[in-house]
Amino acid sequence: MSYFSQLTQRRRSIRKYRAEEIDPDLLTDIVECALRAPTSRNSRSVRLIIVDDPETIRSLSGIREHGSAFVAGASVVIAVCADTTETRRPLADTAIAASFLQLAATSNDLGSCWCHVEDAPGAVDETAQETVHRLLDLPESYLCHCLIALGVPEDADQLEPEERSLPWEHVFVGRYSAEASEE
C-alpha cells in the first residue's frame, strides 16, 4: 500500500482539538503543500489567510448559524480564498488547495476540518462570505471558499488508519453502465 493510500485512510474531519499551539515549522510545511496545489491555467490564484489570534478564531466560529462552531477550538484557521481577477475557476483552485492542506495536516499528525463559506448562509444579517470578508479585511475580488480548522486532535486515535468501505459501484471503466451500477 502506498504512503498516499495510507494517508487517505488516516484523514478524516476532526472537530475537537487540544489547546496546543502548532509548531511553526509544521505550519510552514502545511502551507507550502497548499501553495504547490495545481490551479487552473497555473493562475496561482489561491490566497491563504492564516489566523492564529484566538479572538478572531472565535469570531470566525460564528459565521454560520450551523456548522461553524467547532472552529472555535482550532489552534489555527486558514481561510482558503481565490483572487477572482486571476482565475475563471476559483472554486476548483481553492478546493484543490484545501484538500492539499488537509492531507498535509494529516501527514504532520494534525487534525483538520473544512468549514464551508462560499455560498453558506450566515448566522446574522450577512452571509458567511460577507462575515469572513469583514473579519479578515479581504479585498472585494477574493472569494473565500472555506476555512480549514487545524489543531492537535483531542483524541490521538482519531488519526489511526481506518478501513472504510468504498463505493466501488460508483466506478465505471470505459463508459457508464447502468447494469454495472445495479450489480
Q: Where are the domains of the chain?
A: 3-182
The pTM score is 0.92
Given a cut of 90, whether residue 156 has pLDDT beyond it is: no
What is the fold of 3-182?
NADH Oxidase (3.40.109)
Share of the chain above pLDDT 90, in %: 80
Q: Report the pLDDT value the prediction gives residue 36, as an integer from 0 to 100.
A: 97
Which ranges of 3-136 does DSSP label H, i.e. alpha helix?
Answer: 3-10, 24-35, 54-60, 90-107, 128-136
Kindly write down the DSSP assignment for every residue of 11-44, as one continuous string: --B---B-S-PPPHHHHHHHHHHHHTS--GGG--
157 Cβ partners below 8 Å, 6+ apart?
A: none
Mean pLDDT over residues 86-99, rounded? 97
Residue 158 pLDDT greater than 70, yes or no: yes
Q: Cα(71)–Cα(79) distance, rounded to whole angstroms?
A: 11
Question: Within 10 Å of residue 78's Cβ, how many Cβ atoms?
Answer: 25
CA 62, 63, 69, 74: dihedral to nearest 10 degrees? -100
- Whether 166 has a pLDDT exceeding 60, the answer reads yes
Q: Is 155 helix (H, G, I), strand (E, B) or coil?
A: coil
pLDDT at 120 over 90: no
Mean pLDDT within 65-72: 94
**CA-only gyration radius of the chain, Å:** 18
Residue 162 has pLDDT above 60, yes or no: yes
Q: Say how many C-beta atoms besides its own lie within 10 A of residue 141's C-beta.
A: 14
pLDDT tens string 24-64: 999 999 999 999 999 999 999 999 999 999 999 999 999 99
Of the candidate ranges 67-71, 83-87, 135-139, 154-158, the one whose mean pLDDT is the lowest: 154-158
Taking a C-beta distance cutoff of 8 angstroms, is the pair 126, 162 a contact?
Answer: no
pLDDT band at 181 (very low <50, low <70, confident <90, very high): low
